[in-house]
Structure 1
Amino acid sequence: MHIEEGFQPVPFSNENAYLTDPVLPSLLKRILPRNVLQEVEPDLERLGLEVVTTIRKLSDSHKVYPPKLVQYDQWGRRIDDLQTSEGWRELKAIAQREGLPGIFYERKYGAASRIYGFAKQLLLAGDTHVIFCPISMADGSARVIELYGSPAMRRDILPRLTSRDPNVAFTSGQWMTERPGGSDVSMTETTATSVGQNHEYGPQYSLNGVKWFSSATDCELTVALARTGTVQEGSRGLSLFLIPLRLPFPTDPSKPLPVQKMNQVFVHRLKNKIGTQIVPTAELTLEGSEAYLIGQLGKGVKSISPVLNITRLWSAIGSVGNLRKGLSIATSYAHVRSIKSGTQLLKDTSTHVEQLASINLLYRALVHLVFGVVCLLGKVECGTATKEEEARLRMLTPVAKAYAAEKACTATEESMAALGGAGYMEENGFGRLIRDGLVEKIWEGTIVVLAHDLVRAVQDQSTVTAFVSWANSIIDSGPTQMQTTLSFHISLLRLALQEISTCYTPPIQPLVARPTLFLVGAVTASISLLEHAIWSSQSSEPSSKLDLEIFSRWVSEGGLGESIDAVKRARTMDSATRITSNSEIVFGSSPRSRL
C-alpha cells in the first residue's frame, strides 16, 4: 500500500486564538471599561488571527534556531560575537510593534493598560519562543528608571525601552544570579568602585565580577546588582547599576551605527539548557565595565524589586499562555479525530471530554487569578490603588507566579496526551511548550523561594487581614439565592480563609510556607471565579449558568480541600521531628551517609 492510500488523518484547525479562548473575552468584558473594550477588542481579534497564521508560521520555521557565540576572530582577537537567529529578532520585533512593553508606559487606558498589554502576551506566549524574557526585563528596567533613574536616563533610555519601533527599541537584562547563590543575592561577589566622576546618567562606577546566568545577552543594556558595601552587610551592601553592553551608548538611531566595542563584558559560554534554547543565556564576567548608579547606595535590592515583581507576572502569564495553546490544540483535535471505526469523534466521547473539561477548568482559574493581580499592578502604577490593594499586590505576585508555573506545566502535559501519539510529535509544538514551560518554575525564583517571599510579604498581619477582608467582601456580595445554592462551597472557602489567617499568625511554623502558598493560590482563584460568576449573573450574561458551574467545580474539584488538609498537617505536626526525619529520608541516618 502506498502512503497516500488508506486512512488519512484529518489535521486539526488553527482557529482565532482570541475568539476561541474560553475565558479571555468574557473576563475582559467584566474588567475593562466599556469604551476601552470597544477600542481594544478589534485589535485583540486581529492579533488572535495573526497568532495562528503568520506568527505561528514564523515560529515553526527554519528562521528560528539557537544562538551561536564566536569568541575569537581568525586573528585570535577576542570579539565575543553573539549571533542570534533571524527568527528570534523578528519575533522580538513583532512584540515591540504590538506595543509590548510600550502599552504599559503610554498608559492610554490608565490602569487598564496593563490588562490590555498582558492580554496580548497571553495570546502570543505559546508561539513566540520565550521572546518575552528580554521584553519583560525591558518592562521591569523601564519601571525602575521611571521610579529611580536620573533625568537623563528618563530622557534618553526610557523612551527606547518602551518604543514600538524595533529599529529604536532597546531590550534589557537583569544580572543578579552569581555562583555563590541563585536567588540569594546576599552573597553577591560583583563589586562596584566609584571612578570619582559623574556621568550625565549618574555617578559612574567600574564593575568587576561574574554573572552566572545572563538571559538575553544580546540586549543593549542591563540592570545589575553590585557590592558597594562590605561583605558582612550582605544584601544591605548592594546597589543597583545600569550597564551598557557596548560603547558608545546610546547611539543615535537617526545616524549610521558607529563602531561599538564591548563594555569590558566578556561572554565565556552560552548555557546548554533543556529548554528556552533560542534565548541567549550566558556566563560572563565584568572586568572594569562602565556603569551608572540607579537610586541610592545600599538600596539595590529595593531598587531592583520592581523588575522582579513585573517579570514574575510576565512569567505567570507565560505559563498560562503555554497552556492556552496546548488546550486550544487539544480542543481542536477533538473535533477531527474519530474512534470506534470512524463512527465517533473524540468530542462526542464522554471520558475524553471529561479530561478536557478538567484542563479547561484549571485554565479558567489561572487566567482569572493572574489577571486579578494584573489589575492590581495597573492601579498601583497609576497611583489609584488603595493601601490594601498595594498590600494585596505584594502578597499575590509571588503566589500568581508560583501557582501558575506549578499547575500549568502538568496541564500542558495532559493537553499533549489528549492527542495520543500525535501529541508526542515535535511538529505540533508540545515538546517546546513543555520544555520552555518548565523554566517558569525556576526563573524569578523557585516555588520554595517564592513561598518564603510570601511569608515576608505577610509579616505585617494587616496584609493578611486585608486579604481575608477582600475575599469575604466578594463572598458577601453574592445574591442571597446564590449564597444558599453555594452554601457548601462558601463554607469551604471561609474555612480556607480562616486557615490562612491562622498559618500566618506568628510564630509561623517552618514547614507551612509551601503548602500555604498553594492554598492562597487556590483561594484567590476561587474568589476571582466567584466574582466573575456574580457579575455574570447580575448582568444576565448568556454564560451565567456555566460561570456558576465553573466556580462550584473549581472549589469542589480544583484541590481546595486537599490544600486545606496539607496546610493543617504542616501547621499542627511536630516540625522538629519532621525536619529530622526528612533529613534522614533524603540523606540517610548514619554520619557517613550525610557526608
Structure 2
Amino acid sequence: MRIEEGFQQTPYDVLHPYADDTVLPSLLRRLLPQSAREEIEADLIRCGKRLVEEIRPLSAIVHHPTLVQYDHWGHRVDELHTSEGWRKLEEFGIKEGFVSIAYERKYDALSRVYSSAKILAMTGDCHVVMCPLGMTDGAARIIEVSGTEEMKRELLPRLISRDPSFAYMAGQWMTERPGGSDVSQSETTAIPTTRIPSDLGPPYLLSGFKWFSSAAEGNMAVALGRTSPVSQAPGSRGLSLFVIPLRHGAYPTPLSNGVRMHRLKNKFGTHGVPTAELELENTRGWLIGELGQGVKTVATVLNVTRILSALHLSGSLQRSISIARSYALVRTIDGGKTLLSNAPLHVATLADATLLYRAVTYMAFGTIELLGKSECGAASEEEEMRLRMLTPAVKAYASVRCPTAMEEMMGALGGLGYMEEVGIGRLIRDSLVERIWEGTVNVLALDLVRATKKPRVVESYMAWAQSVISSSAGVMELSAARKTIERLQGLLQNLLRLLSHALTNPLLPRIALNYFASISCGLYLLQHAIWSVGNKEQACDVDLEAFRRWVDEGDMHTYAQEAEAVLSEDNIARAKLNSQLVYGAKL
C-alpha cells in the first residue's frame, strides 16, 4: 500500500493562543477595566495570529548554539553563534514588548498583567526565549531600583527598548561550582580599582568562574562577586552585585572584558538558549546597590524571574492542552464512530489538566497583580508581605505539578504525542528546568519558611484569605458551594499550624509550600467564581465547579495527610530512617 492510500488522519485545527483559550480571556475581564481590556485584547489577538502564522513555523530552525573558541591562526576568539530561528524569536519578543510593556506603564500597575498575558500566550511557541528576555527584565528592574544615574541613563533605555537594533539582552551570573543555589560559597572575587573609569559607578575587577550562565549572547550581565574575604564576612554577607559589559561600548566582545567562554552546557532541554561556563580574569564591573548587599540586591531579579518561571510552566501546559483539545475533535475511536472529544474518560483527563492550568494561572496572575503594584509604589505593606510569600510558592508548585499534566497531554495523543514534530515533548523537556532554575523546590520551600518568620507576614496572608471567603457571603448563588467554602476555611486554619511547625521541623517545609500553594490556588479560584457569579458570566457555573473540585477533590488533602504523617513521628528518627532508606541500614 502506498503512503497516500488507506486511512488519512484529519489534521487538527490550530487554536488561537488567546482567543480560543478557556482561562485567560475571562481572567482579564476580571482584572482589567473595560477600556484597557479592549486595547489589550486587540493586541493579544493580533499577536496570537502572528504566533500561529509566523512564529510557530520557526520551530524547525531553532537549533543548539555553537561556540568557536579559536580562529584558523590559533587566536582565541570565543565567537558564539545562535540559530537563525532563535535570533528571530528574540527579535519577535523584543518587538512585541516582552520586557518593555511592564516599564512603559501605559496601564500603571496593570501593565504587569498586560505583559504577563502576552508572555503566557507566547510561551508555547517561543522555545524559552523568556530566559534571556526574563533576565533582561530582571536586570532592568534592578537598575531602575538600585542602579546609578549613569546606569539608568546608558543601560536602562536599551534593556527596555522595542527596537532590536538598539535593545540589549542581559544575563545573570550567580551559580558557581562550589554552591549551586547556595551562593554563600561563591569564589569570584571583586577588587576595587582606579585603573578603569567610573563611568557607570564604582569600578571593580572580578576574577572567578561562573558555572551556569544562561543568555550568554547578552550585551551585559549582573554578577555576584566577593568584596570581603570569607574570614571577615562569611557566607553571603561579603557578596556584592555588579554590572558587567560584554558587548557594549569599549567592550565589543566578552574577551575584550576578560571573559572567556570555557564551553557551552550540554543540557537536557532549553536547547536554543546559549548557556556557558565562563572564566573571569580581571573583568571590569561596576557596583550596583550597596556594598556587601549583593544577595539582597539581586533578589529584585529573582522576584521577576521566578514569576516568569511560573508563567513559562502555565503557558507550556496551556499549549499542551490546546494540542490535545484540537486532536480530540478530529480523532475517532470505536471504528470511527466516536470522536475522542465525546469519550467521557478521555475528556475527564483533559478536564483535570485544564483545572490545574486554571488554578496555577489564577495564582500566578494574583502574584503578578501584586508585583505590578509593588513596582509602581502602589502596594500596601500587607500586599508586599503577600507577594513575598506567593512568589517562591507559585514557581515551585507549578514546577512540581505542570510537567506531569503535560505528560498526560502527550499521552492523550497516543503515539502521535510522542513525536517531536507535535511539540509536547519539547515543552516537557523545557519545563523541567523550572524545578532548578532560580531555586529548586526545596530551596524555595526554605525561602517561604524564612518569609514567615517576619512579623505579621502570615497574619497578613490569613487576613486576605478571610476577606476572600467573607466576600462570598452575600452572593446567594454560592449557597450550593457553602460546604466547600467551609471546608476551605478549615484547611486554611490548618495552614497556620503547618507553617508554624515548618519553622522547627526540617522535614515539613516542602509539604508546607505545596499545601500553601494549593490553598492559595483555591482562594483565587473562589475569588474568580465570586466575580463570575456576581457578574452573571456565561461560564459562572463552570467557574464555581472549578472551585468546588479543586477544594473538595484536590491535592491539598494529600499534602495535609503527608504533614500529619511527619508530625506524628519523631522528626530526628524519621530523618535517620530516610538516610537508611537511601544509603542503606549501616548508617
TM over 0.5: yes
SS of structure 2 residue aligned to 1:202: coil
Structure 1 residue 231: deviation in Å?
1.1
Residues 1:485 and 2:480 are matched in the alignment: yes
Structure 1 residue 540: deviation in Å?
1.0
> Residue in 1 aligned with 2:403?
409
Over the aligned positions, Cα root-mean-square deviation in angstroms equals 1.4
Residues in 1 aligned to 2:207 and 2:101: alpha-carbon distance in whole angstroms: 35
Residues in 1 aligned to 2:380 and 2:565: alpha-carbon distance in whole angstroms: 35
Residues in 1 aligned to 2:105 and 2:380: alpha-carbon distance in whole angstroms: 19
| Conservation of the 8 A alpha-carbon contact between 1:194 and 1:204 | yes
135, 139, 156: which one aligns with 1:137: 135
Q: Deviations over 1:405-435 (max 9, x none)?
A: 1111001111110000110111111111111
Residues in 2 aligned to 1:459 and 1:266: alpha-carbon distance in whole angstroms: 42
Q: Deviations over 1:282-323 (max 9, x none)?
A: 111100101000011101011111101100011110011110
Residues 1:293 and 2:294 are matched in the alignment: no
Q: Deviations over 1:385-411 (max 9, x none)?
A: 110000000110000100111111001
Residues in 2 aligned to 1:482 and 1:443: alpha-carbon distance in whole angstroms: 43
Structure 1 residue 248: deviation in Å?
3.2
Residues in 2 aligned to 1:578 and 1:322: alpha-carbon distance in whole angstroms: 37
Residues in 1 aligned to 2:12 and 2:296: alpha-carbon distance in whole angstroms: 49
399, 403, 410: which one aligns with 2:393: 399
40, 62, 65: which one aligns with 1:64: 62
Q: Percent identity?
A: 50
User: Which letter maps to 1:325?
Assistant: R
> Residue in 2 aligned with 1:18?
18
Structure 1 residue 588: deviation in Å?
1.2
144, 147, 150: which one aligns with 1:149: 147
Compared CA separation, residues 231 and 351, structure 1 to 2 (3 A): same
Residues in 1 aligned to 2:8 and 2:567: alpha-carbon distance in whole angstroms: 57
Residues 1:165 and 2:166 are matched in the alignment: no
Correspondences of 1:326-345 after superposition (within 5 Å):
326-345=320-339
Correspondences of 1:33-112 after superposition (within 5 Å):
33-58=33-58, 60-61=59-60, 63-112=61-110
User: Which letter maps to 2:344?
Assistant: S
Residues 1:571 and 2:567 are matched in the alignment: yes
| Conservation of the 8 A alpha-carbon contact between 1:194 and 1:206 | yes
> Residue in 2 aligned with 1:254?
none
Residues in 1 aligned to 2:255 and 2:389: alpha-carbon distance in whole angstroms: 43
| Conservation of the 8 A alpha-carbon contact between 2:173 and 2:212 | yes
Residues 1:4 and 2:4 are matched in the alignment: yes
Residues in 2 aligned to 1:490 and 1:260: alpha-carbon distance in whole angstroms: 57
TM normalised by structure 1 equals 0.96
367, 376, 395: which one aligns with 2:370: 376
Residues 1:531 and 2:527 are matched in the alignment: yes
Correspondences of 1:190-269 after superposition (within 5 Å):
190-196=188-194, 199-232=198-231, 233=233, 234-246=235-247, 248-249=249-250, 262-269=256-263
SS of structure 2 residue aligned to 1:504: helix
Q: Which moved more, 1:332-341 or 1:567-576?
A: 567-576
Residues in 1 aligned to 2:493 and 2:184: alpha-carbon distance in whole angstroms: 35
Give unmatched runs, 5+ long, in structure 1: 251-257
Q: Deviations over 1:88-138 (max 9, x none)?
A: 111011011011100011111001100000111101111111111010000
SS of structure 1 residue aligned to 2:285: strand
User: Which letter maps to 1:500?
Assistant: L
Give unmatched runs, 5+ long, in structure 2: none
| Conservation of the 8 A alpha-carbon contact between 2:477 and 2:533 | no
> Residue in 1 aligned with 2:500?
505
| Conservation of the 8 A alpha-carbon contact between 1:499 and 1:568 | no
SS of structure 1 residue aligned to 2:77: strand
415, 421, 431: which one aligns with 2:415: 421
TM normalised by structure 2 equals 0.97
User: Which letter maps to 2:191?
Assistant: T
> Residue in 1 aligned with 2:550?
554
SS of structure 1 residue aligned to 2:409: helix
| Conservation of the 8 A alpha-carbon contact between 1:496 and 1:519 | no
Q: Which moved more, 1:559-568 or 1:268-277?
A: 559-568
Residues 1:463 and 2:461 are matched in the alignment: no
Structure 1 residue 11: deviation in Å?
1.1
Structure 1 residue 87: deviation in Å?
1.0
Residues 1:282 and 2:276 are matched in the alignment: yes
Structure 1 residue 246: deviation in Å?
3.6
| Conservation of the 8 A alpha-carbon contact between 2:127 and 2:270 | yes
Structure 1 residue 199: deviation in Å?
1.0
| Conservation of the 8 A alpha-carbon contact between 1:209 and 1:287 | yes
User: Which letter maps to 1:239?
Assistant: S
| Conservation of the 8 A alpha-carbon contact between 2:99 and 2:133 | yes
Q: Which moved more, 1:9-18 or 1:570-579?
A: 570-579
Residues 1:114 and 2:112 are matched in the alignment: yes
| Conservation of the 8 A alpha-carbon contact between 1:248 and 1:260 | no
| Conservation of the 8 A alpha-carbon contact between 1:190 and 1:209 | yes
User: Which letter maps to 1:501?
Assistant: L
Residues in 2 aligned to 1:189 and 1:246: alpha-carbon distance in whole angstroms: 24
SS of structure 2 residue aligned to 1:71: strand
Compared CA separation, residues 347 and 510, structure 1 to 2 (3 A): same
> Residue in 1 aligned with 2:515?
519
| Conservation of the 8 A alpha-carbon contact between 2:18 and 2:45 | yes
Structure 1 residue 50: deviation in Å?
1.9
Count of aligned positions:
582
Residues in 1 aligned to 2:13 and 2:147: alpha-carbon distance in whole angstroms: 48
| Conservation of the 8 A alpha-carbon contact between 1:275 and 1:439 | yes
User: Which letter maps to 1:584?
Assistant: Q
Residues in 2 aligned to 1:433 and 1:246: alpha-carbon distance in whole angstroms: 31
Structure 1 residue 574: deviation in Å?
1.2
User: Which letter maps to 1:527?
Assistant: L
Residues in 1 aligned to 2:253 and 2:314: alpha-carbon distance in whole angstroms: 42
Residues in 1 aligned to 2:455 and 2:201: alpha-carbon distance in whole angstroms: 39
> Residue in 1 aligned with 2:352?
358
Structure 1 residue 461: deviation in Å?
4.3
Residues in 2 aligned to 1:260 and 1:424: alpha-carbon distance in whole angstroms: 40
Residues in 2 aligned to 1:439 and 1:340: alpha-carbon distance in whole angstroms: 39
Residues 1:347 and 2:341 are matched in the alignment: yes
> Residue in 2 aligned with 1:311?
305
SS of structure 2 residue aligned to 1:123: helix
| Conservation of the 8 A alpha-carbon contact between 1:264 and 1:287 | yes
Structure 1 residue 573: deviation in Å?
2.6
User: Which letter maps to 1:370?
Assistant: A
Residues in 2 aligned to 1:589 and 1:148: alpha-carbon distance in whole angstroms: 52
Residues in 2 aligned to 1:249 and 1:92: alpha-carbon distance in whole angstroms: 24
Q: Deviations over 1:333-359 (max 9, x none)?
A: 010001111111001111111111111
Structure 1 residue 261: deviation in Å?
5.1
Residues in 2 aligned to 1:18 and 1:247: alpha-carbon distance in whole angstroms: 37
Compared CA separation, residues 345 and 247, structure 1 to 2 (3 A): closer
| Conservation of the 8 A alpha-carbon contact between 1:18 and 1:24 | yes
Q: Deviations over 1:455-493 (max 9, x none)?
A: 111112411111111111101101453554223322221
| Conservation of the 8 A alpha-carbon contact between 1:322 and 1:433 | yes
SS of structure 2 residue aligned to 1:170: coil
Residues in 2 aligned to 1:367 and 1:348: alpha-carbon distance in whole angstroms: 27
| Conservation of the 8 A alpha-carbon contact between 2:218 and 2:247 | no
